Amino acid sequence: MPPRPPWDYETFHTNDAFEWWRKGGHNGMELSQGDAEGQIPPSRKPVIANENTRPDRDGNVDHHQDAAAAAALLIAGSCFHSASGKKSAPLSAFDRPFAAAFVRGARSVNLEFQEGRYLREEPGSYLRVYSRVLPDGRRETVRIRK
Q: First and final CA of the chain: distance in angstroms?
A: 24
Q: Is the pLDDT at 1 greater than 90, yes or no?
A: no
Q: Is the pLDDT at 4 greater than 90, yes or no?
A: no
Q: Is residue 79 classed as helix, strand or coil in its secondary structure?
A: coil
For residue 35, the tally of other CB atoms under 10 A from its CB is 14
3 Cβ neighbours under 8 A, 6+ residues apart: none
At 30, the pLDDT band (50, 70, 90 cuts) reads: very high
Angle subtended at Cα 88 by Cα 87 and Cα 93, rounded to the nearest 5 degrees? 75
Q: Quick check: 112 and 134 in contact, CB under 8 A?
A: yes
Q: Is the pTM of this model over 0.75?
A: yes
Q: Is the pLDDT at 46 greater than 80, yes or no?
A: yes
pLDDT tens track for 5-25? 878 999 999 999 999 999 999
Cα gap 83→70, rounded to integer Å: 22
- What's the whole-number mean pLDDT along residues 114-118? 96
Phi, psi of 132 (to 5 degrees): -125, 135
Q: Tally DSSP H helices, then E strands, for the chain.
A: 4, 5
The predicted pLDDT at position 11 comes to 94
Q: Is the pLDDT at 52 greater than 80, yes or no?
A: yes
Which letter does DSSP use for residue 129 in this model?
Answer: E
Cα gap 136→109, rounded to integer Å: 18
What does the domain layout of the chain look like in residue ranges? 10-144
Q: Is the pLDDT at 123 greater than 90, yes or no?
A: yes
